């Protein structure tokens, strides 16, 4: 909406959409860009190594032994290919891979050690703001089984990134008493881009930082 993601501070309870059938089409053809490609940023360079999907023979590039220390917040990385004489040549495409604006931590409650919550009470959680708006998005969810249908479902929220939000008892009571999952995520989407010699110019990179835990509703 508007110029970018907007904070809504809105909740809802939804069924999990069914998994769509697998399309009956061949796997996309892939081409080598060299043994390595790099995400190059102002503070660091992240190396991705060429790998193969054995079942299809497709080429992918993966980061090995990467940690959160390799992830610099509020950065946009360029894509630099090593180049392959039989595939994609060496090229650098600027502003391809964004990262979320900042780190965040869940502060309360401490969802660990068989944490249990009464569905008849509002559930308020707090976090250190992830600095997401207006460029990125912050979302949370509590996933379980819907009382009305017995289907998998979730209470979801797009809260203002101000550090405090509440799932109401009316929302929690729509989930069955059971073990459920709690998740929080900040995410960002990059610009459309393509390789300079290609007519395809609508690739987009995404990045997210997620936290998950299990708890019990009673």
Q: What are the pLDDT tens digits along the chain (218 aa)?
A: 456 677 778 899 999 988 888 888 888 889 999 999 999 999 999 999 999 999 999 999 999 999 999 999 999 999 999 999 999 999 999 999 999 999 999 999 999 889 999 999 999 999 999 999 989 999 999 999 999 999 999 999 999 999 999 999 999 999 999 999 999 999 999 999 999 988 888 899 999 999 999 999 99
* Start-to-end C-alpha separation, the chain: 38
pLDDT value of position 4:
65
pLDDT value of position 3:
61
Four-CA torsion 179, 184, 190, 194, nearest 10 degrees: -20
pLDDT value of position 105:
94
**CA atoms within 13 A of residue 189's CA, in its CB half-sphere:** 10
* Range(s) of the chain covered by CATH 2.60.40: 10-19+101-217
pLDDT value of position 188:
97
Residues written for the chain: 218
pLDDT value of position 8:
79
Q: List b or e across 130-143, with b for residues whose CB sees 16 or more CB atoms inside 10 angstroms.
A: bbbbeebbbbbbbb
The DSSP output letter for 120 is T
pLDDT value of position 23:
81
Residue with tokens 């110019």: 201
For domain 10-19+101-217, which architecture applies? Sandwich (2.60)
């Amino acid at each position: 909406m508007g110029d970018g993601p907007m904070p809504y501070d809105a909740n809802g309870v939804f069924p999990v959409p069914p998994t769509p059938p697998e399309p009956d089409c061949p796997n996309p053809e892939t081409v080598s860009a060299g043994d390595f490609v790099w995400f190059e940023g102002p503070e660091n360079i992240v190396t991705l190594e060429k790998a193969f999907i054995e079942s299809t023979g497709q080429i992918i590039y993966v980061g090995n032994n990467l940690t959160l220390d390799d992830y610099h917040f509020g950065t946009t990385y360029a894509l630099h290919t090593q180049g392959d004489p039989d595939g994609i040549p060496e090229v650098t495409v600027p502003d391809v891979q964004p990262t979320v604006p900042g780190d965040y931590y869940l502060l309360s409650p401490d969802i660990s050690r068989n944490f249990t919550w009464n569905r008849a009470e509002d559930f308020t959680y707090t976090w250190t703001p992830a600095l997401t708006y207006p460029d990125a998005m912050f979302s949370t969810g509590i996933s379980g089984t819907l009382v009305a249908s017995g289907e998998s479902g979730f209470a979801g929220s797009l809260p203002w990134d101000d550090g405090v939000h509440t799932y109401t008892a009316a929302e929690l009571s729509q989930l069955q008493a059971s073990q459920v999952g709690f998740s929080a995520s900040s995410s960002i989407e990059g610009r459309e881009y393509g390789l300079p010699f290609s007519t395809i110019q609508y690739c987009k990179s995404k990045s997210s930082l997620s936290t998950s835990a299990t708890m019990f509703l009673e």
